[in-house]
Every structure is written in structure tokens, then in C-alpha cells.
Amino acid sequence: MLRSLTLILFLSLYSRASLSFNNEEVLSFSKSIEWKKLLYYKNGKSSIESPLFFLSPVGRSNSLEELKKNLEVFSLRNKREGEYYQCLFPARFNLLKSKWPNKLVSVECPVFDSWKNDLGLGDMYLVYTSSYPNNPASMFGHTYLRFDRSNKGQKKQTKSLIGYSFAFQAQTDPSDNAFEYTLKGVTGGYNSFLEIKPNYFNIGIYNNAESRDLWEYKINITESEKEILIGHAWEISHSGAFKYYFFDENCSSLLISFLEAIKPEMNFKSKNEIFVVPQVTLREVVGEFNSSLANFEPSIKRRILERVSHFSSLEKDSFKKGMRELKELNIIENPDVLDNLVDFWKYKNYKEKTKLSNEDKTLMYETLNLRSKNVGVSKPVMIKTPAGENPVFGHKLSRVSIGSGEDLIDLSIKYGFHDFFDPELGYDNKSFINFMDINFFKKDKDQSFRVKVADILSLNQYNSFLPSFAWRASLNYQSILNNSYAGLLGAVGISHRESSQQVFSLIGFRFRRYEELSLARPVVNLGYKYLFSTKFKFAFDSFLERREDENIMTGEAKFLYQNNGYSFGPVYRYSEETEYLLQLNYFF
Amino acid sequence: MELRNLYQEDEMKFILICLGLLTLSFKTFAADGSSGCGPGWYIAKDNSLLSSSIRATTNGILLPTVTIGMTFGTSNCARHSIVKNEMEDLKFATENYFEIASDSSKGEGQFVTAYAELMGCHGKSIKTFKNKMKTHFSNLFNKSSINPEGLVKETYIIILKDKELLHNCFAV
């Protein structure tokens, strides 16, 4: 009897709760951008894969049913796995509570409150890590959010270091080989979650292990927006799992969708691109939030080389010997040299993933021990922010080119991103990635069709202290007259850049696959660039190849006037035949 | 006993630091008492993706040791990488062992400064703390073994033995 009465009372309360909402209001709100963006609905379906993120069994594809179910549970004091629904989904609950203030039941959420307090989120920054061609997934840079720590640390630098960062990354499987990695990355074989971790991990990974610079832009949000952000981070870090696609559902597109969930009135266009590129989303977010560069964190390699650049030849010699020989190390007294050796071992220890040889371990320990006994004060390393490399100022990524000469016409369209001839502003100019560059050329009755499917040129600065090599890998297709082939090139060598000049020299092989024939030939790739000013430059990119019994030089030399919207100038193109043309390149 | 007489005005801190030293080992291995990260993480568990990724990030590059790092709960759940405030000094020392060693040898740097601040030092005592880390380098960092727990214990002892640090740093 008692059980029946309880059941009747429950049903009565339940029906009151579910019936007390105006159907039209509910229907209208289920279509609102606030609701849709908070649950990542896109084209009628949420990007979030995990069923536990939705309260209705059809919630992932039905925003109305999901809203009704949410209103129902938030009208009661129901729990899932020992926690109130209101506490599992605080951002969602607060959004609905603001719409129906008298109909939803508030509860205490001590676990969430404690987590929020421990996070101590202060000022928010969008961080861009520079391109890293040595890892295909990092080739186009990376973006994440970081927060100053509001409840710990006194100095600004400490607040940054121990503050937390939010990032979406593919949760890859280290046992996957390169093929599996690529296949899964392209087809959505990996999951992605909101990863929350202390910012010192980012310093370790990006600044030290991968020697990448960090660019930080302050993003101003209101305190109420921050409350939504924290609540939403809690709910998706618990039950929000996305499929990760390297091209269009990646770290950057998920991050801007996350920002849109916090500020639904914002609508970032770059997330709808076929290929969502971190640098493009960075520009859009920085523009929308009207923010500017707040901090530049140079890589450890940049710091070491900067200090070396101020060394005398004696100090350089001492530094070089101290890296390798214990006997030489023990006679060093110069604190600047010792500090640079300490940094060198940090660099090397990260590079070797802490798996140094026993000899190197001894050298590292003795270096640190020697420095600890040396009371000398070193000169601070002052690194000026390379304003010309600020990624916000880079040219747009796609390019169309038209060229004309005597009886010839040359048309090109490139999907992306940045090649050796493109304007330098906004790029570090050591990573050049060309993707889907299609060229059509017609001269008299001759015509050719070329596609650079991918051309990656990594011009790591060579120096005797931290030697690293430049390399190039490219895949192309070419059809001239009735002769067509697919080509693959791999080359390695050295590169040097100093003030207005850049030069590289690579040696490798070029494989060509014709219809009935395959050929592999050694090739030398030489490149040079001279900047007369930021507006004018001369550059060439040449390949020397031995074919049959003769040496053939192919390539292009350009003298260009440039700004970030377009470039223009004469081009000299050479192979078995030579052509002169005037070329206009427009970035869009 | 002598130390207690010497620093009578900081008796409470002295006791707390001693308690911190005593309980350090316990803290290390009991830091993450929870079991898993709740039902929402079943996708990660099914695919072993999240856990493997974090292993790849932390063990290879940043953490000198596996065992201590894992006891903080970084193995299975991003949520748990946020530790309780009272354990943050040990977590920081574990995850930044080499960084703290490098900075300590110089007596300067953002990691040793952050370490001082996490130990509760403030004002001028931060500079004193960093100098002490430099002069006691060989006691704090062992050539043959990597021992973040030992680093934190030795740091507590340095604070205990210095009147200024004992007064200005609240280590536990």
C-alpha cells in the first residue's frame, strides 16, 4: 500500500515536472544556438560520440528530445552513478536554469566546486605552437588554451607555469606504425578528449623536446563566461569523446567549437573548411576577440643559439669542448658558458627522451654540479620577439597565379600553404609545406600539366653546436606532351640563414615512374633567397640532375615585389628549355 | 631537539614540516585513491587510447620515473591530473625533476622559482630558497639515481634548517 502511494506521488511529481514547460518554448529553445552549440549539434547530429553525454537515448541526433530529457531530470533530484545530474552537467544546467529559473532544482555540487577551486583559472590565453615538420601531425602548428593560475604562485611566470591548459588532441596508440597512424588519423580512427594538464607539460613538450616557439594571445572573457567555460570543461572532460580527424575535426576545430559553446554568438568560419589549419583559426579567434600578442616563449634551441651568438671565439670553443670532454668541462669558469652547457643538457636530455648514454649522464651531472659550485652571475639572455614571424600576420593559405610571356601562358592554383617563394611575414621560414599546387602551362602548341601533391621543405639551421639537417620530401605528377610520370623526391643536406639571406643545399634521389619505365637518379637541390627589403626579394630553387650523359638543371628563379595579399614579378624558368614570364600571385 | 629550541617561534611550522616529512612516503603512494574516472571514460578504456597517449607523453619525455608519476593518477584520466593542493609540491618535483635540477644548479630559473612558491616561500625568501638549492645541489640531486621523493625530503630539511625559510616558507 505504502509502495503504491509512493509510486502515485512520484508519478504525480514526475508528470508535473514534465508537463510544466511550455511546449512552444521548449521547441524554440531546442533550436537555439545556445543549446545547439553547447551540445555540439552540427547538421542535425552532435559531434560528441559518447552516449553518456546525452540523457535521451536519441539525444545525439535529436536536440528537442535531449532538451526535454534534460528539463525532466533537472526538475528533480535524480542521480547517476552517485552524482546529481545538475552536478554532472553544470554548464547545461545553468543555461536551462537561466531560461526556466523557477522550474529547475538547484543542488549543492561539492565535488565539482572542489575541482573548480583546485583549477584556479585566471586569465585565458590562446597559444600557438610553431610548425614542426618532423612530425606529420604537428606540421601545421597546434593551438591550445592556457590559464594563469589564480590561486597559487606569486610571480607572473609561475602563474603561467603551474596554470592549467585545455587542449584537444588525438589520443593515438604508440604501437601504431606510420601507415596505421595516417590511416586512422584521416578516417577518424582515433578519439579525442578535452585534455587538462599543467602548462609546464607544454613547456616541456613544445619548447624543450621539440624546440618550438610558443606565441600567446590574451583572450578576454567575462567572469560569467568563465563560469560557463569551467562548467562545460567539467562536463565534456567527463563524458565528451569526439572522433578525431587530422584534417577537419582536429585540435583547432574542436577548440573553436569549444569557444563557441562558451560564446554562442560567435561563429568561426574556419571550422567549416575542408582542412582546418591552426594558423587560420588562430587569426580568426584573435580577430574576433580583438586580442594581441601577450607573450612569446622562445624554444630552448633559440635560447642556446642566442647566447652562443654573443660568445667570443674563445667562449665558443670552450662551450663546444665542454659538451664532450669532462677534462675540458672541469676547467670552465665562465658562468655564461656554464649556463649554456646546462641548457644544452636540458635540450639533449629532452631530445633523447631522458635515455642518455652513461657517458652523457656523467657529463650532464658534472656540468650541473660544476655550475652549482660556481658563484658567478651570468648575463641574462634577452631574446627579442621576432615580430616578423608573428603567425597572426601570415598571408592567406591558398594562392592563384597567372603568368604570361612570349607566346606562353601559365596558370596555377594552390590549396596551401607556404612555399619558398611566398611572402615571409608571419612565418618562421624554416618550414615550407606546399600542398596540391596545380599548374597548367601552354606555349605555342606545347602544353604541360603539373601537380605538386605535397612538397615539404624543412630548412633547419645548421650550426656546429646543435647540428640539425635540412631535408625535403615531395610527391608530384607531371604530364608534358604525351609523356607523363609520377615523381618522388627525397633529399637531405644543410641550410643557413643570416639576416637577409637564406641558402640550402640538399642531395638525394628522385624516382620517376613512367608508364613503362621507372628511373631513380641522384639529384642536388640548391636554393637561395635574398631579401632586399620586406617588399623585394630574389630567390631560386634549382635541381641538378644527371640524365643520360648530360647534367640538367631545372627550377625557377624569381624577382618579386610582395605584400601579404599578392606578389608580382619576372620569373625565369629553366629545364631543357627556358622561359621568361611575368607572374602575379594572389593569396585568398 | 636543538632545532626546536632554536626556532621556538615557529614551533607549529616545525611540527607540521616534520609531519610532512614523516608522511611523505605515504602521500606518494596514496595520492590517487580513487578507482578510475567514472563511467564516462569507458570509451577510452575500451580503446586504450587515452591511457596510452598519456603514457607516451609523460613517461618518455617528461617524467624521469614511471612508478611515482603513475601514483598521481595521470595514467587514466585527465581530470585526475589536477591534484589536491597539498600534494602539488611533490607532483611538481616529480614531473619537473630535470628542470628543477638545471635551474637549481644556476640558482635561478622559472622552475626553481615555481618550486619555491609551491613550497610556500614568498617575498625575499624565494631568493634565499634558490640560493640554498644551488649550494645544496649535490645533496638534493644524486648522480646515480633519480629520486623526486628524496628531492622533496631534502628540500624540507633545507627549510627546516634555515630560520628565514622556516619562517617564510610553509612547506606542508
* Res A138: pLDDT: 75
Distances (CA, A) of B58 to A538, B73, B88, B159: 45, 12, 17, 29
pLDDT of residue A373: 96
Residue A221 CB coordination number (10 Å): 16
Pick the residue of B42, B51, B61, B65 with the most A CBs within 10 A to test the interface with A by mutation.
B61
pLDDT at B20: 55
Asked whether residue A502 carries a pLDDT value surpassing 80, the answer given is yes
Cβ neighbourhood burial of A228 (10 Å; 0-12, 13-18, 19+): buried
Alpha helices per DSSP H over A54-155: 63-74, 85-88, 90-99, 110-119
DSSP letters, A136-152, are GGGTT-EEEEEEEESSS
For residue B164, give the C-alpha cell. 628565514
**How confident is the model at residue B43, as a pLDDT?**
27
| Chain A residues in contact with B85 (beta carbon < 8 A) | 118, 151-152
pLDDT band at B65 (very low <50, low <70, confident <90, very high): very low
Q: What percentage of chain A has pLDDT greater than the value 90?
A: 72
Q: How confident is the model at residue A191 (pLDDT cuts 50, 70, 90)?
A: confident
Q: Are A90 and A96 in contact (CB under 8 A)?
A: no
- Could you tell me the pLDDT band of residue B33, with boundaries at 50, 70 and 90? very low
**Chain segment A382-423, per-residue pLDDT in tens:** 999 999 999 999 999 999 999 999 889 999 999 989 999 999
Stated as kind and residue range, the H or E segment containing A453 is strand A446-458
pLDDT tens for each residue of B106-164: 999 999 999 999 999 999 999 999 999 999 999 999 887 888 888 998 999 999 889 99
- B49 vs A171: CA distance, rounded Å: 5
* pLDDT at residue B26 tops 70: no
**How far is the C-alpha of A178 from the C-alpha of B60, rounded, in Å?**
19
Q: How confident is the model at residue B46 (pLDDT cuts 50, 70, 90)?
A: very low
Q: Which of A173, A205, A365 minimises the CB distance to B61?
A: A205
Banded model confidence at residue A555, pLDDT cuts 50, 70, 90: very high
Predicted pLDDT of residue B68: 30
Residue with cell 547517476: A80
Cell digits for B103? Answer: 635551474
Cell of A375: 658563484
* Poorest-pLDDT segment among A245-259, B24-38, B80-94: B24-38
For chain B, give the mean pLDDT.
64
Residue B37 has pLDDT above 50, yes or no: no
| pLDDT at residue A354, rounded to an integer | 83
A–B: how many Cβ contacts below 8 A? 156
pLDDT (tens digit per residue) in A261-299: 999 999 999 888 888 889 999 999 999 999 999 999 999
Could you tell me the pLDDT band of residue A453, with boundaries at 50, 70 and 90? very high
Contact A570/A559 with Cβ under 8 angstroms?
yes
pLDDT at A16 over 50: no
Instruction: Tell me how far apart the alpha carbons of residues B172 and B84 are, in angstroms, rounded to a whole number.
Output: 12
CA nearest to A93, candidates A228, A226, A261: A228
pLDDT over 90 at A157, yes or no = yes
N-to-C CA span, chain B:
20
- Which value does ipTM take for this structure? 0.87
Residue B22 has a pLDDT of: 53
Cell of A535: 617588399
Q: Which residue has the cell 593542493?
A: B85
Determine the pLDDT at residue A274: 84
Hey, are the CB atoms on B105 and A369 less than 8 Å from each other?
Answer: yes
Residue A115 to residue B50, Cβ atoms within 8 A:
no
Cα torsion through A54, A57, A62, A68, rounded to 10:
-80
Tell me the mean pLDDT in the region A322-337: 95
Is the N-terminal amide bond of A469 cis, ω within 30° of 0? no
Indicate yes or no: CB of A154 within 8 angstroms of CB of B98: no
Instruction: Answer whether residue B61 shows pLDDT above 90.
Output: no
pLDDT at B58 over 90: no
d(C-alpha A249, C-alpha A499), whole Å: 38
The more confidently predicted of residues A18 and A187 is A187
- What does the pLDDT look like over A211-243, one tens digit per residue? 899 999 999 999 999 999 999 999 998 778 888
Q: How far apart are CA A581 and CA A572, in angstroms?
A: 7
Encode pLDDT of A269-279 as tens digits. Answer: 988 888 888 99
Average pLDDT over residues B31-48: 27
- Per-residue confidence (pLDDT) for residue A101, from 0 to 100: 93
Residue A174 confidence class, pLDDT cut points 50, 70, 90: confident
- Gap from A263 CA to chain B (nearest CA, Å): 23
Residues of A in contact with B106 (CB under 8 A): 339, 342, 371, 378
> Can you tell me the mean pLDDT for A568-578?
92
**Residue A14 pLDDT more than 50?**
no
Q: What pLDDT, on a 0 to 100 scale, did the predictor assign at position A127? A: 98
Are B43 and A241 a contacting pair at CB < 8 A?
A: yes
Mean pLDDT score across all residues of chain A: 91
Looking at residue A496, its pLDDT comes to: 94
CA proximity to A257, closest of A171, A145, A170: A145
**Does A204 contact B62 at a Cβ distance shorter than 8 Å?**
yes
Residue written as grid cell 610527391: A475
Q: List the alpha helices (DSSP H) in chain B.
A: 2-6, 11-30, 42-47, 49-57, 67-71, 88-95, 97-106, 110-118, 125-135, 137-140, 148-161, 163-168
Residue A81's pLDDT is 83
Task: Find all residues with CB under 8 Å of A171, minimum gap 6, and list them.
Answer: A190, A191, A192, A193, A244, B44, B47, B49, B50, B52, B53
- Report the pLDDT value the prediction gives residue B70, as an integer from 0 to 100: 29
Residue A454 has pLDDT above 90, yes or no: yes
Going by pLDDT thresholds of 50, 70 and 90, the confidence category of residue A324 is very high
Return the residue in B35, B42, B43 with the most chain A beta carbons within 10 A, the one to mutate for interface testing.
B43
Q: How far is B5 from chain A (nearest CA, A)?
A: 32
Chain B residues in contact with A211 (beta carbon < 8 A):
none
Residues of chain A contacting residue B56, judged by C-beta atoms under 8 Å apart:
172, 174
Task: Report which of residues B43 and A553 the model is more confident about.
Answer: A553
Does residue A10 surpass a pLDDT of 80? no
Partner residue facing A238 (CB), from B38, B92, B137: B38
pLDDT band at B11 (very low <50, low <70, confident <90, very high): low
Interchain contact, A171 vs B49, CB within 8 Å: yes
